Amino acid sequence: MGKIKNEIKEILNEKEDEITYEPLSEEQRAEFEKVNEENSFLFKKEQLNIIKYSFLMLIFSVIIISLFFRSKENILGLILGYVMSLLNYRLLYLTLIRATHMTPHKAKRYTILQYLARYILLGCVAAGVVINKNFNIFTFLAGLLLLKVVLYLENFKYSQNMKKVTYKKTITGGEENGNKHS
């Protein structure tokens, strides 16, 4: 335990790299803010899609469990696991957004502390599930995995779309809008 504690202290006490930051000009700052707003909108839209698909998967899973097991402990465990998974996902998103506005040293420290806080919270809830007989630990773990399954499926769908785009550009010789580049 002491070794882990010392490693965490070393990580948190590392000196910031000797990086100099030049201030952005007004034009660069305006462009940065514009791109940041566009990306923020796309990230929020993507998050809503992921939450929507995972919720649909939760409903499907609840229906399947209620048909076969008819136990409220199973359904409660699945729902609690799903809620914890969503909370973890949202906290990770907020951590990354906040860390992008920090210096590298502060961002590293902040993300490590947030990581520890998220997993301590998850560990406490998991311990509560084990102790409390109103929840099934296995369906709790399945609920935690629901969001991961949706993320993997979304990533797979995205990679397949990127392969199609790359394939089309390769076949057409880089044509865009029907015009060949000279």
Report yes or no on 1 lying in a domain: no
Name the band, by pLDDT with cuts 50, 70 and 90, for residue 25: confident
Q: What pTM was estimated for this model as a whole?
A: 0.67
pLDDT above 70 coverage of the chain, percent: 72
At 178 the pLDDT is 47
Supply the pLDDT for residue 87: 92
Closest to 70 measured CA to CA, from 82, 78, 79, 62 = 62
Structural domains of the chain, count: 1
> Each residue of 134-162: pLDDT tens digit?
999 999 999 999 989 888 888 888 787 77
Say if 17 falls within a structural domain: no
Q: Is residue 118 part of a domain?
A: yes
Inform me whether the pLDDT recorded for 16 exceeds 90.
no
Residue 16, domain member (yes or no): no
Residue 43, CA distances (Å) to 25, 117, 152, 159 in order: 26, 24, 16, 17
Structural domain range at position 116: 35-172
In a domain, residue 53? The reply is: yes
- 86 domain-assigned: yes
Buried b (16+ CB within 10 A) or exposed e, 3-17: eeeeeeeeeeeeeee
Cα distance between the two ends of the chain: 64
Domain presence at residue 29: no
Considering the domain boundaries, does residue 180 fall inside one? no
**Listed ranges 44-48, 118-122, 167-171; the one with the highest mean pLDDT:** 118-122
**For residue 22, which phi and psi values (nearest 5 degrees)?**
-90, 135
